Structures are given as C-alpha cells and as structure tokens.
Amino acid sequence: MKANFGSEFMNKTKGPELSTSDQISGAAAQPPLELPFPADGQIIALPAPAEIQVPPLDVRIAIEQRRSLRKYAPEGLTLAELSYLLWTSQGVKKVSKRPATLRTVPSAGARHAFETYLLINRVEGLKPGLYRYLAIENSLLELDLSPDINARITHACAEQSQVAESAATFIWVAVVERMYWRYVERGYRYLHLDAGHVCQNLALAAEQIGGGICPIAAFYDDEFSRVLGIDGENQFVIYLASMGKKNVTAV
C-alpha cells in the first residue's frame, strides 16, 4: 500500500516518536475531570442509577439481537431510561483520590476524556434541544433549545434521517488535554479505542429497554464543531449514536 497520512499517524504514534508527557515532566497540572459549567445554568437532576428499574436481559441475548437501528417507534424515552443509558455509557461509579473518575466503561489510564452531548427529541420531561451530561453530578445541562437545533445537527451528520427522527442522539466530544496530559501523541489512538467501548455499552443497554442505536462516524467535523461551539482541535466530535425504541417495521 502506498504511503498515506493514516500510516504516517500510526508510525508517529509509536513509542520512539512520542513527546515527553506533562505528567512526567510536571509541566502542567492534571486537567479537570469534567468541563466547567455555569453555576446559574439550567441543570436538570437525573434519577439516581440505583433507583432505576430496567427489565433483566441476558448478556448473550443482548449481543445476539443487537443490530444497527435506523428507524424508530414514535414512542419516546422516559427520563429514567435516558439516565440509565447515560450511566451505562459514561456513568461515574467513584471519584478516586488520584483524582480520577472510575466509570462503567474502560478508558486508558482512567482518563475518561469524553463529554457527552445529547440531541433530545422525545424524552419525557425534557424540552427538545441540545444538552450536556454532567457525569459527576448525574445531571443534564441545558445548552440550546433553538427550534432549528435538530436541523443543524442533522445537517452536520450529512442529513442522516435517523438523527432527525431519533428519540435522542448521543454525541461524544473528545477533550484532548485530558488524554494528552499522560499519553501525548499516542493518546489520540486511545481516544478512538475508548469511543468504541462507550458506544458498545450504549448498544447493549439500549437493547435492555427495548431500543436500539445506530453508531455514526460519518459527519462534517467542522460543521459539528460550529454547532456545538467547540474549537474542533482541543475538543472535537469523535463519535455519535442515534437511539430510539424499536418499531416492528424497523429495518
């Protein structure tokens, strides 16, 4: 295969090419475990994970029946169901003394470098719009309730209809410094690996509540950054998944 920037990336993220990390050099303090949020922001508390009741589902059955779902029932999600999906995909079980967040998914060095943004279309008790999950607080931060937010995010996803028609779409934003502080250039590899862990947990949890997801990696990076108000370099969209309840006619 001819040389390309993909193979160059793999070569330059091998051990001999790496910079010295800020953790080792002491050049910078550990980045915060979570992005800041305004104290006077509109924050919605979510049901506590221990209080959420979901139907039991054998892991093997969940794996066997999982498939990408692009058409959804008109039925929306309850707030408890949304909280369960957020907890299974990014929930914080403990904040250690290091400090680090210990979550429901693995992450390289427990760096957990993602923030979860949500396009909410049909969730009981929530206005349609864009939100951010505050994982440590187990709450939602209201960001943008503009009438056109669905259309703008759908456009950033190359007009994929499953986004527009989802009950909710999960958008994972990588906060690079959180991973780079320890793993420097090789951390970019770990970001992409960690995204897979998160999305698979979401896929299996969705099965448990009678739903399904469609993982999405095809989107307009710069357009998405503009919609979310991030710079696209220090923070960027790495992966997303539309989600909704199953419809018997869905394919």
Is residue 202 within 8 A of residue 212, CB to CB? The reply is no
How many angstroms from the chain centroid is the CA of residue 128?
18
Helix (H, G, I), strand (E, B) or coil at 103: strand
Beta partners for residue 214, in sequence order: 242
Relative orientation angle of helices 176-183 and 187-208, to the nearest 10 degrees: 130
Q: Where are the domains of the chain?
A: 38-245
CA distances from 36 to 16, 133, 135, 141 (A): 35, 12, 12, 11
Write out the DSSP string of 203-220.
HHHHHHTTEEEEEE--S-
Whether the predicted model's global pTM rises above the 0.85 cut: yes
> What is the pLDDT tens value at each position of the chain, 251 positions in all?
888 999 999 999 998 889 999 999 999 999 999 999 998 999 999 999 999 999 999 999 999 999 999 999 999 999 999 999 999 999 999 999 999 999 999 999 999 999 999 999 999 999 999 999 999 999 999 999 999 999 999 999 999 999 999 999 999 999 999 999 999 999 999 999 999 999 999 999 999 999 999 999 999 999 999 999 999 999 999 999 999 999 875 44
Which residue matches tokens 């090789």?
Answer: 186
CATH placement of domain 38-245: 3.40.109.10
Strands of the 168-175 sheet, one edge to the other: 43-45, 139-144, 129-134, 114-120, 168-175, 235-245, 211-216
